[in-house]
């Protein structure tokens, strides 16, 4: 039997009422109480028409969430003001590394023999060195080299070390044992001695310094990534993914990497400061980026080292730049740990009484 359909959309919808006798079904025109006048439900004919003002709004007419990103940044800054200050310092360092050579008042290699070992003044803001070179210009140019040498090896070691640790832990067995014993052999020697030996063998160039620092920091990242992977493999949803027939690549990329990534990023932030400090130490010893290219370590070494007693500004300003940069990256690492680690967030909320 064909079901009745309403003659016009404005008609009163029919409501089916079931009496005590289930064999008799009567159709009574009773109005339905809808939450909105624009909703009309037609019973018995199985037709539901739902319209609303929201549906008539196109996606380009939807109100945008203005300032949501800005409010999120302000909320994080209020919660961690020290981390916000460190982020500002890192942003300034990135700006100087890009535009520093354009802002330098002098050529960093230009010699002013008549103005050797001149203290800070209106012409030479940070003074001059033993050759009459402007220290402010050299400090600006050295920022780019120091930041690159700090970021490049850590980025390489983070990618390589995480990949080795995840694959080693997932594979298990003898392959895991062999890989980890090789990593333990690298970590058995002090990092600074390993860097000095390898740079001495390869030669003091910027590329060699980056390569050596990446090799030295890779075992540390590998150990952290492997431990996190082993703890993740024992979780129930990993077993469920395997039981559902998920491939190894899918399990690693969708289930293991998201759990390993936050702690590794926190570790990388702290390793950047160590890499910058290691480059400064190598340059101070004459094994870093060779002169005349200015770096913060070169500003502390070479001929300037013999003039520290009569010109202390030669050590103060590069030393402050190194200390502030290393401190900023370490504080960023602490802030990321407090933000990304749910256990730290929980302890902060309990301590704050939230």
Q: Would you state the pLDDT for residue 57? A: 41
Q: Would you state the pLDDT for residue 102? A: 87
Q: Would you state the pLDDT for residue 295? A: 87
Q: Would you state the pLDDT for residue 83? A: 86
Q: Would you state the pLDDT for residue 61? A: 43
Closest by CA to 109, choosing from 247, 298, 259, 350, is 298
Q: Would you state the pLDDT for residue 342? A: 58
Q: Would you state the pLDDT for residue 3? A: 53
Q: Would you state the pLDDT for residue 230? A: 92
Cβ-contact 331, 86 below 8 angstroms: yes
Q: Would you state the pLDDT for residue 28? A: 45
- Cα(73)–Cα(349) distance, integer angstroms: 19
Cβ-contact 218, 161 below 8 angstroms: yes
Q: Would you state the pLDDT for residue 65? A: 52
Closest by CA to 169, choosing from 216, 222, 237, 241, is 222
Q: What share of the chain is helix, strand, coil (3-state, %, to 5)?
A: 65, 5, 30
Q: Cα separations (Å) of 290 from 63, 130, 269?
A: 57, 18, 26
Taking domain 97-352, whether its CATH number is 1.10.3210.10 is answered by: no
First to last CA, the chain: 63
pLDDT along the chain (354 residues), means of 10: 51 48 47 44 40 40 54 77 90 92 88 87 89 91 90 95 94 91 90 89 90 94 94 87 86 89 91 91 85 84 79 90 93 85 52 46
Q: What is the pLDDT of residues 209-237, one digit of tens each?
A: 999 999 999 999 999 999 999 998 888 88
Place of tokens 């090799």: 215
Q: Would you state the pLDDT for residue 338? A: 82
Q: What is the pLDDT of residues 278-291, one digit of tens each?
A: 988 888 888 888 87
Whole-model pTM? 0.72
Q: Would you state the pLDDT for residue 139? A: 93
Show the CA angle centred on residue 293, arms to residues 146 and 128, nearest 5°.
95
Q: What is the DSSP letter of 290?
A: P
Q: Is 210 exposed, middle or buried (0-12, 13-18, 19+ CB in 10 A)?
A: buried
271 token code pair = 């390793």
Q: Cα separations (Å) of 126 from 115, 134, 312?
A: 13, 7, 11
Closest by CA to 262, choosing from 162, 168, 149, is 162
Is it true that the peptide bond before 70 is cis, omega within 30 degrees of 0? no
Helix 135-171 crosses helix 257-284 at what angle (to 10 degrees)? 140
């Amino acid at each position: 039997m064909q079901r009745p359909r309403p003659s016009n959309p404005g008609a009163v919808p029919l409501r089916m009422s079931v009496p005590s006798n289930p064999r008799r079904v009567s159709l009574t025109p009773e109005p339905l109480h809808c939450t909105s006048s624009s909703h009309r439900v037609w019973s018995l004919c199985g037709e539901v028409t739902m319209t609303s003002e929201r549906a008539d709004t196109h996606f380009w007419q939807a109100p945008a969430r203005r300032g949501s990103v800005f409010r999120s940044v302000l909320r994080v800054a209020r919660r961690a003001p020290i981390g916000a200050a460190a982020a500002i310092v890192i942003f300034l360092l990135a700006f100087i590394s890009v535009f520093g050579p354009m802002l330098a008042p002098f050529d960093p290699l230009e010699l002013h023999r008549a103005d050797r070992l001149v203290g800070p003044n209106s012409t030479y803001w940070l003074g001059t060195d033993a050759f009459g070179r402007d220290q402010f210009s050299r400090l600006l140019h050295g920022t780019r080299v120091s930041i690159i040498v700090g970021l490049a090896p850590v980025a390489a070691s983070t990618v390589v070390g995480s990949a080795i640790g995840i694959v080693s832990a997932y594979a298990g067995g003898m392959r895991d044992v062999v890989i980890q014993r090789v990593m333990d052999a690298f970590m058995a020697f002090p990092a600074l001695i390993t860097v000095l030996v390898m740079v001495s063998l390869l030669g003091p160039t910027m590329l060699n310094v980056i390569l050596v620092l990446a090799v030295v920091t890779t075992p540390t990242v590998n150990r952290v990534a492997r431990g996190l992977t082993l703890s993740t493999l024992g979780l129930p949803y990993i077993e469920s993914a395997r039981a559902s027939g998920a491939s190894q690549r899918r399990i690693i990329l969708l289930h293991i990497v998201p759990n390993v990534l936050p702690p590794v990023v926190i570790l990388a932030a702290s390793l950047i400061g160590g890499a910058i400090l290691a480059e400064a130490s190598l340059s101070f010893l004459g094994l870093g980026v060779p002169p005349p290219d200015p770096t913060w370590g070169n500003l502390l070494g070479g001929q300037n080292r013999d003039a520290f007693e009569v010109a202390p500004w030669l050590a103060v300003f590069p030393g402050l730049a190194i200390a502030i940069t290393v401190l900023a990256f370490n504080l960023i690492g602490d802030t990321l740990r407090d933000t990304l680690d749910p256990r730290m967030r929980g302890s902060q909320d309990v301590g704050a009484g939230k």
